[in-house]
Amino acid sequence: MKREQLLELANKYGSPLYVYDTDKIASQYNRLTNAFSGVKNLKLNYAVKALSNINILKFFKNLGAGLDTVSIQEVELGLTTGIDPRNIIYTPNGVSLKEIEDAVELGVQINIDNLSILEQFGQKHPEVPVCVRINPHIMAGGNSKISVGHIDSKFGISIHQVPHIKRVVENTGMNINGIHMHTGSDILDIDTFLRATEILFDVAKQFENIEFIDFGSGFKVPYKEGDISTDIEQLGIQLSERFNEFCKEIGKEITLMFEPGKFLVSEAGVFLAKVNVVKQTTSTVFAHVDSGFNHLVRPMMYNSYHHITNISNPDGKDRYYSVVGYICETDTFGSNRRISEISEEDILCFHNAGAYCFSMASNYNSRYLPAEVMLVDGQDYLIRKRQTLKDILNNQEVVSLPKKEEVTA
Ligand SMILES: *Cc1c(COP(=O)(O)O)cnc(C)c1O
């Protein structure tokens, strides 16, 4: 995205503002498809939770992607695009049997991640095919909060409990049509990934009606210059070969699935905020922007790095800043960052703001959620209006409280 265009958009739609470039989304999608072109049946399900605006979901539908959903609301959002429910996989964690039944009613593929619900579901609905989420106990992921495949993780059914799954299948007559894993975000090392896939192949072999294996996601994208990212092309070559071998072994062409979020949308998004105040203290220069962790929580929640540039003054002298928000508690986007000299009213650009940024935003401090803009072939479309006070008051009931005299009487 060009700096001049971003400045124009900040001017046109106001700040703070999220902007998503669909060209980048499409190129990431094509990169992944090309990397696995050696596999006959490939299905990419976009992880809705990364960025869930319905126009983004529609864009993915048009690319030919399916959707990976983690709540019944995400399923419903997905269905508003007119996508075939069979192209949606529902992968919740710790939800009620009722919510899973509701998803089945909507026609989507369900994925169950605990033995208790698997058994209850199998007894009631033996005719509905089910995918099971396996925890292969591989330690992966960028940090302990986003690593979900290790032994103490709350996700999936332990690989050691596969005999128990088979017993449930025998007892209920249910049908396992898919095997799934999702070991965490920010996987760098493709050998780790391949080790986990061997474990899945071993499990898949034990269920004769298997139609697909879903390898989840966790591809790492660069957040700053020099960052290493997952070598998708290399992974594609190695995993495709192994997957094709496996299909031969079991004597049928099953589907290879992935469900990436971050890989597809992280780099496609930027967040624009305006500098309200530049404050020099004894040791630090603070740049306070018209936003905070209410709009972009990843730095405060996961210590995530988001590269920050001053698009109003790209050629200024570099100085060191702490970029902070306006929320009334510690609210740091980046400390000691080298940024081109900042003046009040400059627009700062936060990079990699496509994934887990708007979708994690809140109304904390009763601030409005930002507007969202989508670029299609360079043309800008407003895809979410900025909130107003009406949105904050919506659903709040005004009750008439008893008068003070009545209470004390
Ligand atoms: C969050 C999630 C994903 C997407 O992970 P990314 O790191 O954004 O690619 C995929 N599958 C499941 C089940 C998830 O919960």
* Residue pLDDT, tens place only, 18-71: 999 999 999 999 999 999 999 999 999 999 999 999 999 999 999 999 999 999
For residue 264, the ligand 1 atom closest to its alpha carbon is 9
Long-range contact pairs involving 191-198 (C-beta distance under 8 Å, separation at least 24): 192/138, 192/140, 193/140, 193/218, 193/235, 193/239, 194/235, 194/238, 194/239, 194/242, 195/138, 196/136, 196/138, 196/140, 196/149, 197/239, 197/242, 197/243, 198/242
One-letter amino acid of 331: D
pLDDT > 90: percent of the chain: 87
What average pLDDT does range 263-277 have in this prediction? 98
* pLDDT value of residue 152: 66
CA–centroid distance, 99 to ligand 1, in Å, is 20
* Widest Cα–Cα separation across the chain: 83
Concatenated DSSP letters of 234-271: HHHHHHHHHHHHHHHHHTS--EEEE--SHHHHTTTEEE
At 320-363, the pLDDT tens digits run: 999 999 999 999 999 999 999 999 999 999 999 999 999 999 99
CA–centroid distance, 182 to ligand 1, in Å, is 7
Task: Return the CATH architecture of domain 269-391.
Answer: Beta Barrel (2.40)
- Answering whether pTM is above 0.85, one says yes
Asked if pLDDT for residue 228 goes beyond 90, the answer is: no
- Angle among Cα 94, 95, 99 to the nearest 5 degrees reads 160
- CA pair distance 104, 90, nearest whole angstrom: 9
Region for residue 144 given its phi and psi (left: phi exceeds 0; alpha: psi -120 to 50; beta: otherwise): alpha
Backbone angles phi and psi of 269, in degrees to 5: -115, 145
DSSP symbol at 150: S
Sign of CA dihedral 389, 20, 236, 45: positive
Run of H or E residues at 163: helix 162-172
* Summary mean pLDDT of the chain: 94
Judged by DSSP in three states, 328 sits in coil
CATH tag for 22-261 (out of 2.60.40.60, 3.40.50.920, 3.20.20.10, 3.40.50.410): 3.20.20.10
CA–centroid distance, 387 to ligand 1, in Å, is 28
Residues of the chain with CATH 3.20.20.10: 22-261
Residues of the chain with CATH 2.40.37.10: 269-391
* pLDDT value of residue 142: 47
Buried b (16+ CB within 10 A) or exposed e, 331-350: bebbeebebbebeeebbbbb
Tokens of residue 22, six digits: 């669909």
Residue 357 annotated as catalytic = no
Given the structure tokens 């909130």, which residue do they identify?
387
Beta partners for residue 184, in sequence order: 147
What average pLDDT does range 71-86 have in this prediction? 98
* Better pLDDT: 184 or 393: 393
Length, in residues, of the chain: 409
Q: Which of 43, 131, 259, 304 to mutate to test the pocket of ligand 1 (most atoms within 8 A of CB)?
A: 259
